[in-house]
A = this chain, B = another copy of it.
Amino acid sequence: MPHVNQARATMADVARLANVSEKSVSRVVNQESHVSAKLREKVEAAIAELGYVPDLAARSLAGSRSFTVSLLFDTRGPNYAIKLIEGAYEACKRHGYHLRIENLDSFAGEDGWLDRLGEILSHSRLDGLIVTPPFSDSAVIMDYLEDRQIRFARIAPFKERGRGSCVFMDDAAAAAQVADFLVANGHRKIGLVNGALKHGAAIARREGFLNRIAQIAPEAEISEADGDFLFESGIRAGRALLDTSNAPTAIFAANDDSAAGVMTACAQLGIRVPDDVSICGFDDSWSATAVWPYLTTIYQPISELAHEATELLIAGNGAAVMNDQVLLAHRLIERASVKNLAR
């Protein structure tokens, strides 16, 4: 069983070369205070010469840190998941941390979640956990983690934002921006395709949109259709909304996938986008540019959310409790699926 890596320089090698104690090398590596500039220079030179990189296993065994954070996610939305991973990975890379991913089946139910979580935590130490939707709104998970004093950062939570560190965007404000945009483009008969309303995001988007419309264009006619964020529900909702004599001139779907479904419904009904009806999505996911015309949508800073959450976890290392709240900006991406009625 050969070691996978070559013989690597150890702290002892560095200490010998720099003619100092191992502990001093450790101090320099860990940027502890009370280290003279001269010592630091000597050590750093030796480190550079030997290409020394501290051994993670030894560090974690001897010390109280593991240099590892875990990302608790589920796979149902591939785009979402992969962007989370990207963001978290980047932050880890920057700080020399490792990212461990934990794929948890969101359909397993909260008991199933806890079982798996227990396993995950028992197998190894970790410096913190990034909790993503839908887990980030699970009170039992938070109880469990607080119980065991595991630091965690929540991504896009809607409940109890005071618990743990939270990183999120303002779904309601983003939906309101869509409302502004549609009204500014002259639309007054607007369809709304909802997401699964047990999700905080679906509720926030709906309310943000409706409230803003009520403010700025109370005369507007709004028709709603149920949806569940999936493509097929978009087709159904699109047909329900459009196959009437008094069809809307614009439709806002709660996410891009269902917006793509609405577009398909348009194709089936012989309705042109955006000439006959304008469509807005939400997420700026893969599917936003896998339809024609490309979808006007809200850019969600998904990988930034994960990045920021990871940064909080790493920076907060040592703190017993974390309680930051970070709001990240969304952005309306104007593409080709909305027509200005005034022109």
Is A60 engaged at the interface, CB distance under 8 Å to the other chain?
A: yes
Which A residues from 90 to 124 make CB contacts under 8 A with B? 90, 96, 98-103, 121-124
The size of the chain A interface, using a CB distance under 8 A, is 63
Contact across chains for A56 and B101 when beta carbons are under 8 A apart:
no
Task: From known contacts A1-B64, A103-B89, A150-B4, infer whether A125 and B290 are also in contact, taking CB-CB under 8 Å.
Answer: no
- Known A86-B103, A103-B85, A264-B292; judge A66-B75 contact (CB<8 A): no
- A82: which B residues are within 8 A, CB to CB? 75, 78, 81-82
Question: What is the minimal beta-carbon distance from A93 to any residue of chain B, in angstroms?
Answer: 8
Residues from chain B with Cβ under 8 Å of A3 in the complex: 64, 125
Total identical chains: 2
* A12: interface (CB < 8 Å): no
- The yes or no answer to A275 lying at the interface (CB within 8 A) is no
B150 touches A124 (CB 8 A): no
A8 within 8 A of B: yes
Cα A319 to Cα B68 with chains together (Å): 28
Q: Kindly list the 4 A-B residue pairs having the minimum CB-CB distance in the complex, ordered from nearest.
A: A264-B292, A57-B60, A78-B82, A57-B61
